[in-house]
Amino acid sequence: MTEPNLLSELRRERIALSTGVQLDVTIGGPDDAPAIIFLHGFPESARTWRFQLADLAKDYRVVAPDQRGYVRSSKPEGVENYTPDKPIADLFALADALGIDKFTLVGHDWGGAIAWGAALTNPSRIERLAILNAPHPFIFQKALFDDMGQREGSQYIRAFRTPGMESFIAADLDAFYDRLFGPSGIGSEAPPEERPAYLEEWSQPGAILAMLNWYRAAQIIVPAMDEAPERPAFLDAPFPAVQMPTLVIWGMDDKALTPALLEGLDALVIDLTVVEIPDAGHFVTWEKPQAVIEALRAFLG
């Protein structure tokens, strides 16, 4: 499902934020309509939402940034500038810059991780939360200790944290693309015309390093397969529940984040709806775009 002119009714703006970064942002829909902010994950951009933005802009004010470190958005130097609190701050600064008080927040992959964090730290501004193939932080950390299958599937995070990995990836972006979006990648195979778009985004100066810095800055512990590190204390203590209505959409063929990460979610989210999408992998936003649109529209009511 590829339509090159899909985003023709949307506009792109460069927005300077109070957090000190500038983000390229896709915006559409009526300014006075309920707002939805979409956060993409690794290694994508606002383009991952192209089908959802085109559809939902008919009825909602849609906003989708290229997050810090991605494509042509600002890429501040230093791992410390990519700790999760930084993109969370960018999110609310972007809403402020656009005059948006409360909004629905939608996130995929790393964007989903930031969305979980934002919902837990500043719930008063998020009316509804929608998460796509991004595990709840408590469940993810627990799985990395207790579920050896998920631990094995997450060893790529350790690889991404290896010094110099950015140079290895940048030296052969075609091979990197094939590992992600080829026939044996972690999701469905991407349409051929997507290759040049991704390669162009990844080729921006500093982009690969900045994208990997998200993994390096995260506090998540990913043990090696033969490692038995000390268990984080928070895993054996009460964890605050997400309060707002929450939709979780999951591509059930995800090889990196398995459906087992849905288990126990109902104890951590007060008002939870789960939509499982079969025959979809990690990049469910464009693998099964219509199914995602229908789930979001049903959730938004």
Residues 265, 136 contacting (CB under 8 angstroms): yes
Higher pLDDT, 126 or 185: 126
pTM: 0.95
Of 134, 136, 132, nearest to 52 by C-alpha is 132
Higher pLDDT, 190 or 6: 190
H or E stretch covering 274: strand 272-277
pLDDT of residue 187: 63
pLDDT in tens, 107-136: 999 999 999 999 999 999 999 999 999 999
pLDDT of residue 186: 66
Residue type, 47: R
pLDDT in tens, 247-256: 999 999 998 9
Residues 91, 98 contacting (CB under 8 angstroms): no
Mention every residue, 6+ apart, whose C-beta is less than 8 A from residue 226.
Answer: none
For residue 250, how many other CB atoms are within 10 A of its CB? 25
How far, in Å, are 135, 168, 216, 286 from residue 24 at the CA level? 26, 27, 23, 21
DSSP string, 105-117: EEEETHHHHHHHH
Burial of 171 (0-12, 13-18, 19+ CB in 10 A): exposed
Residues 129, 98 contacting (CB under 8 angstroms): no
Percent of the chain with pLDDT over 90: 90
Task: Look at residue 145 and tell me whether its pLDDT is greater than 80.
Answer: yes
Mean pLDDT of the chain: 94
pLDDT in tens, 94-108: 999 999 999 999 999
Task: Look at residue 139 and tell me whether its pLDDT is greater than 90.
Answer: yes
Task: Look at residue 185 and tell me whether its pLDDT is greater than 80.
Answer: no
Task: Look at residue 1 and tell me whether its pLDDT is greater than 60.
Answer: no
Average pLDDT over residues 17-25: 98
The 246-251 sheet, strands edge to edge: 11-16, 22-28, 61-65, 35-39, 103-108, 126-132, 246-251, 272-277
Task: Look at residue 30 and tell me whether its pLDDT is greater than 60.
Answer: yes
Angle at 139 between CA 133 and CA 141, to 5 degrees: 105
